[in-house]
């Protein structure tokens, strides 16, 4: 997979429809609802650090990591002024930070990038081992419904004058994976430079995630429709999980 390389430089521009402030408020609402006050936070797959920035401003003791050096380079520019944030290049399927945290986050469907069940098991085990007793794990996924019915076998085009981009998707029924073929044309001087990336997201059924969380010994597993405390239904697009050690 060739993902989040050159795309990293355009990520914040193309994701300007994502309201990270709302996302952060939702995390705070969860913490309030569960009457939990973490001090140390690990954000896995932090990307360009847009959510991390809110954590930094709230004075948590933060570690964030991502697999993509290019995404981290953008995150570094955004986060280097904060003294309470450590930025690392790590793989969530295989990390050992020699530290435990009160809260671990993995947001914006980053978990769907784990396409192999063994890797999912390893990730949840890693998270469990990096949590303090009673520590909390919050993450979300693109639902099976969304990947199958909205994104799958669909093509999206965005024309932003300086950036023209095509997002062509193919659904692999055998493996329940959605393949994204991204083509970007970026204006530089009077030319458009082209580059391509391929991403793969796994379509997980909610019960499969719950089953793997349980096998990693997580307890108090709650599942909500993204950004709410409502139950999920067949057409929920973003599913938010909360589990404790
Ligand atoms: C959709 S982006 C979300 C980024 C960020 N969480 C946000 O909210 O903007 C998915 C991120 O997951 C990262 N990622 C994918 N697989 C990973 C892995 N195995 N370990 C760590 N990061 C990973 C990618 O590099 C990318 O930055």
Q: Which atom of ligand 1 is nearest to the CA of 106?
A: 6
Ligand 1 pocket, 50 CB below 6 A? yes
Q: Which atom of ligand 1 is nearest to the CA of 45?
A: 22
Neighbours of 185 (CB within 10 A): 15
Dump pLDDT digits (tens) for 17-45: 999 999 999 999 999 999 999 999 999 99
Dump pLDDT digits (tens) for 60-98: 999 999 999 999 999 999 999 999 999 999 999 999 999
How many CA atoms within 13 Å lie on the side-chain side of 117?
A: 10
Query: What pLDDT, on the 0 to 100 scale, is given for residue 1?
Result: 55
What is the model's pTM? 0.97
CATH architecture type of domain 146-201: Single Sheet (2.20)
To test the pocket of ligand 1, the residue of 47, 88, 139, 180 to mutate (highest count of ligand atoms within 8 Å of its CB) is 47
The token pair at 190 is 């009077």
Give strand pairing partners of 108.
none
CATH 3.30.565.10, domain 7-142+205-244, yes or no: no
> For the chain, which residues make up each domain, given as ranges?
7-142+205-244, 146-201
Low-confidence ranges of the chain (pLDDT < 50): none
Provide the 3-class DSSP secondary structure of residue 224. strand
């Amino acid at each position: 997979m060739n993902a989040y390389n050159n795309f990293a430089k355009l990520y914040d521009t193309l994701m300007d429809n994502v309201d990270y402030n709302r996302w952060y408020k939702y995390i705070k609402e969860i913490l309030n609802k569960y009457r939990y006050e973490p001090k140390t936070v690990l954000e896995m797959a932090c990307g360009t650090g847009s959510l991390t920035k809110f954590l930094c401003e709230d004075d948590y003791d933060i570690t964030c990591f991502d697999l993509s050096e290019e995404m981290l380079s953008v995150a570094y520019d955004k986060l280097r002024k904060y003294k309470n944030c450590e930025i690392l290049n790590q793989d969530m399927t295989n990390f050992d930070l020699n530290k435990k945290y009160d809260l671990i986050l993995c947001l914006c469907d980053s978990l769907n990038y784990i396409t192999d069940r063994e890797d999912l098991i390893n990730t949840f085990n890693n998270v469990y081992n990096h949590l303090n007793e009673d520590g909390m794990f919050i993450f979300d996924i693109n639902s099976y419904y969304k990947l199958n019915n909205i994104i799958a076998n669909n093509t999206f085009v965005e024309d932003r004058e300086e950036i023209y981009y095509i997002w062509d998707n193919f659904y692999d029924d055998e493996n329940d994976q959605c393949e994204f073929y991204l083509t970007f044309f970026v204006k530089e001087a009077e030319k458009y430079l082209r580059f391509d990336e391929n991403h793969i997201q796994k379509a997980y059924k909610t019960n499969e995630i719950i089953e793997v969380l349980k096998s990693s010994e997580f307890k108090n597993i709650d599942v909500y429709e993204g950004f709410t405390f409502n139950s999920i239904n067949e057409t929920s697009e973003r599913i938010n999980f909360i589990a404790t050690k």
